[in-house]
Structures are given as structure tokens and as C-alpha cells.
Chain A
């Protein structure tokens, strides 16, 4: 009969109307500033620099090797090397970046810088609420703005952070083992030298 389908359609919309007040599942809208969806594990927005410890200037992992600057496809990274050196987490003296700027208005979030970095220093951030009234200065992030603690990295990308921590730890262990071996060899050499000083035999060449 005429009008049957109209009644059916009206019933569907009426159900939508009333159920939207009852069941939360019907309303898929997330009311953004108050409610947020959890971010996906692989979310990436713009890079940041990881530092260890509490002092961002001292703990910055970046050694200003400039690989990321060279590899960056849109050339949004600008690095100025330091003249002096300071010890890194392994205790090795390294140069450090005097300036490290990323223009996020140019950055295309490709994460190539992260892939090429040999020092686990530059990583992708998940922060996306970066709108600003100043489209030049406000979008040019300096070293201070880019530096984030390792704990932050562990929070935003737990899996990647664990991997990177493992790499750092193994590097550190290797370095320590090397230092230990070197110290032992030194001690042995010193002992040998002491022994040769005591007994006049031709000194063993230790290389």
C-alpha cells in the first residue's frame, strides 16, 4: 500500500533519535577538546630530540653529526656545530649542536631523520596541537623546544623507546667492557713494567 515504506523509514529515524539518548554506542562523535581518542602506536607528527637525565643541555644525545640535516628531503633541519666538546653518555667527548632548528612548516613528517640517526637522538613526536598565530617564528622550533626527556619518549612510543633503550644500553655495556679491557690491559702492562723494572730482562712489547 502507498505510504508503507514511508512509515518504515520514519520508524528507523525515530529509533535513531531515541536510541541516541540511551546508548552511547550510537553517537560515534568524540567531543574533541574534552574527549580524545587514544593515539595509535605509530603516530608521528614532527621530530623531537631525546635527552637523558634531568638536564636537557647536558643529556642531549645529539652529537651534531649533521646526517639528518643532509638526509632531510625538504631541508627543514638547520644545525650549527659547537667548537668545544663535552662528554656523552659513554663518557666520550663529543661535539654538540649549538643550534638545532626544525621548521615544522616545512617538515613533511617522513621520519627519514629518525631512520638515519645513529645516536638514537632524533625521534618522532605525537603532539599535533601546534597551531600558532605567528606562522614564521611560531613554527620554527629551536633546540629548547625540541628537547624532550627519554621518559617522554617512553610514554609516547613505548615499543620504539624500549628498542632504542636496549641499543643505548648495549652500546654503553660495550663501551664499558672496552674500557674495562683497556684498563685491565693497562694494569697488566703496568704490572709487567713493574716486573721488568724489578728483574732486568728485555721488556715485552705489548701492543
Chain B
């Protein structure tokens, strides 16, 4: 029985080894890499297309609508609850006219979507999708992820700059300001994990969380510093992937989709894809760092294959992303910056201190009290500071009625 579950758990790894065994010995690393790349290129865009439907339907339900529920299998009455919608959506994207503005910097305009997509796909190289299912297990995997993630900002600014359009440029400027601001709390909240685990290797980080006490997993999120770190990481990843309430760079109502105003057809689709793949990648990293990666939350469910746990967690996180998108309005630029620099950054720094205290105090109930108190106290005090002078409630207009 256990043997069967192990086989099921390692099925993709075994299939990979079996396929690689067909090519001659010196080509093994090359073939293995190629197969891994094709796996990522297949699975995640497919996941993206399904998620777009989930998002549209989910937001529809939240707004008491049905959402897309028409497209199913063509020429039949089967509607599949609208889950066939991504096929016509994709076809529409692919067949639309590709417009390049006359004044645009043509080369940069062409390169921007590609530059957007490549780092996003590279980030998947270090993510562990399951037990022994990491494409390249770098010693500094976390560093690699953040270094690659920083290149997305370049693509965004390339797109905004080369379009020769004021909306694009404004969107790009906002994107740069926002992404750089939020990258700091993002990385600082991840640093706590590195401090406690003592490794930048993502596989090691998961191994450190893969043990159970009283049948419940010892994930980082179940500690005071981990909870705060996860919240900071989550909020910062919302901002990094330009999701509501931090979607200022592509605010449709004010700057008309921001840096990709001048993109149409397949290039727009690439931006769209890049954005969602970036969202999945950063959610995957959050899962790896704080939610135990591919491990099971309770010890009696460890027989479920590891990749199923990973994707379940990923879908859950994405659903929370969608839920937040359907709930919160867009922030103002000054609110965004205040939030990053006056609230998230100090809290991330305090969290590093908390993680240090947690690491050096004896494994006892006392460290729970001290760390929890520090976390809650700093959250409340910093929250008060952020809200000072803010009057919430109905807005009074002086001139307009």
C-alpha cells in the first residue's frame, strides 16, 4: 500500500527518468532539462487558462452574477458550466491585429513582452512542486528567485517607455515605484525564514517544516514571526503581481491599463500570461516559505501525493487573491507608498527581530508569549500610526454635491 502511494507520489519523476533513459548517456542532463522546461511550459499556462475562468466566475458570484456559463463543447448542447471559455478567449487574443504605434520604439516595444515572460518562467526553475520535483535545486534558490523577479520591472518600464504614450509611461512609473517599494518588505519577510532555517535552498526550507507535532505540521506560518511574515509576504506579493488593491500601474479607469495600453493581440496576451505566471510563482514561493511547500498539513494525510498538496495550496492562495480583488477598491498612490514605507517596512524589520528572539530563546512556551506580544504590539502601534489623522467614514465634499 505505502509502496503504491510512493509510486504515485513519484510518478512524474519516474516518467522523467524513463523518458531520459532513451537518449544516450552524455545527453542525459540536456534531455532532462528540456523535459522539465516543457513540463513547466505546459502545466502553468494551462493552469493560467483555467484560473482566468475561475476568476471570472468567482468574481461573478461575488457580485451576484453568473459569470461566463455559455461556452462548452462547440456544436453540442454541452456547456461545461462555461469552462470552455478560455479557448475562444485565447483564439480572440491570437487573432487580433497586432498594432505598433508609429512613434513607438519598435525594437523595445517588441522585446518588452518577451522580457516580461522569460524571468517569470525562469523563476519556476527553483520552485519545488513536489517531493524531489525541483527542476534545479540551487543552493541560493531564494536569492535566485528574487534576483530573477527583479527583472520584471525592467520589462514593465520597457513597455511603458517604448510605447510613446503618456498613460503607458505613467503606468510604468507607478509600477517601478510600487514594485521597488514592495520588494523590500517582500524580501525582508522572506529573510526571517532564512534566519530560522539557516538555508537559502528551498528544498531545505521545506524539509525544516516537514515534521509533525501532535499530528499537525510545523509550518512556519504557525509561529508568531511566521504568521506576521506570511501576512507581509502575502500583501507584498499582491503588490508585486499588480493585483487589486495595488493595481495602480494598470488602473483601467484612470490610465487605461497603464504600461500595456499600446499592446494588442498576442503581445497583450503575453503580458497577461506573464502577470498571472508571476502571480503563481510568487504564490508558490509563499507556499514554500511559510505554508510548508508540498507537505501535508496533518500527519494522517501524508499519503496524498505531494504535488496535489502543492497545487491545492496554490489554488487556495489564488482564490484569496481573487477574493481580495473582488472586495477591495484601488488604493491611491500616496496611500500605497505610506503603507509600504511607514507600515510594512518597519513591521518587517521588527519581524526580523522577533525571528531572532524566537531562534535564540529556549524552545518553551515563554518564547511564544514574548514573540506573540511583540508581533501584536508592533502591529497595533504601527497601525495606529498609519491611521493617525485619517478620518474614515462618509466623505464630505466642499464644492460638489
Known pairs A1-B383, A2-B386, A3-B383; A17 contacts B327 (CB<8 A):
no
Q: Are A13 and B323 in contact (CB under 8 A)?
A: yes
Q: Are A17 and B387 in contact (CB under 8 A)?
A: no
In the complex, what residues of B have CB within 8 A of residue A6's CB? 327-328
Known pairs A2-B386, A27-B64; A13 contacts B327 (CB<8 A):
yes
Q: Are A16 and B392 in contact (CB under 8 A)?
A: no
B317-353 residues with Cβ-Cβ distance < 8 A to A are 323-324, 326-328, 343
Which of A5, A9, A28 has the most C-beta atoms of chain B within 10 angstroms of its own C-beta?
A: A9
Contact with B along A1-43 (1 / 0, CB 8 A): 1110110011011101100110000111101000000000000
Cβ of B47 within 8 Å of any chain A Cβ, yes or no, is: no
In the complex, what residues of B have CB within 8 A of residue A17's CB? 58, 61-62, 323
Q: Are B64 and A20 in contact (CB under 8 A)?
A: yes
> Contact check: which of A2, A5, A13, A26 meets B326 at CB < 8 Å?
A13
Interface size class of B (residues with CB under 8 A): 20 to 34
Closest approach, in angstroms, between the C-beta of A60 and any C-beta of chain B? Answer: 41
The majority secondary structure among interface residues of chain A is helix
In the complex, what residues of A have CB within 8 A of residue B62's CB? 13, 16-17, 20
Known pairs A3-B383, A9-B328, A13-B323; A21 contacts B61 (CB<8 A):
yes
> Which B residues contact A (CB, under 8 angstroms)?
58, 61-66, 323-324, 326-328, 343, 379-380, 382-384, 386-387, 392
In the complex, what residues of B have CB within 8 A of residue A27's CB? 64-66
Q: How many chain A residues have a CB neighbour from B under 8 Å?
A: 19
Contact with B along A156-194 (1 / 0, CB 8 A): 000000000000000000000000000000000000000
Closest approach, in angstroms, between the C-beta of A167 and any C-beta of chain B? Answer: 47
In the complex, what residues of B have CB within 8 A of residue A16's CB? 61-64
Q: Are A2 and B64 in contact (CB under 8 A)?
A: no
Known pairs A1-B380, A20-B61; A31 contacts B66 (CB<8 A):
yes
Q: Which residue of A lies closest to B64 (CB)?
A: A26
Closest approach, in angstroms, between the C-beta of A84 and any C-beta of chain B? Answer: 53
Q: Are B383 and A2 in contact (CB under 8 A)?
A: yes
Q: Are B66 and A2 in contact (CB under 8 A)?
A: no
Question: In the bound complex, what is the Cα–Cα distance between A26 and B383 (angstroms)?
Answer: 36
Sort A-B residue pairs by CB-CB distance and give the 6 closest, nearest first: A2-B383, A13-B327, A20-B61, A13-B62, A26-B64, A17-B62
Q: Are A5 and B64 in contact (CB under 8 A)?
A: no
Question: In the bound complex, what is the Cα–Cα distance between A13 and B65 (angstroms)?
Answer: 12
Known pairs A10-B324, A14-B323; A2 contacts B379 (CB<8 A):
yes
In the complex, what residues of B have CB within 8 A of residue A26's CB? 64
Question: In the bound complex, what is the Cα–Cα distance between A28 and B64 (angstroms)?
Answer: 8
In the complex, what residues of A have CB within 8 A of residue B61's CB? 16-17, 20-21
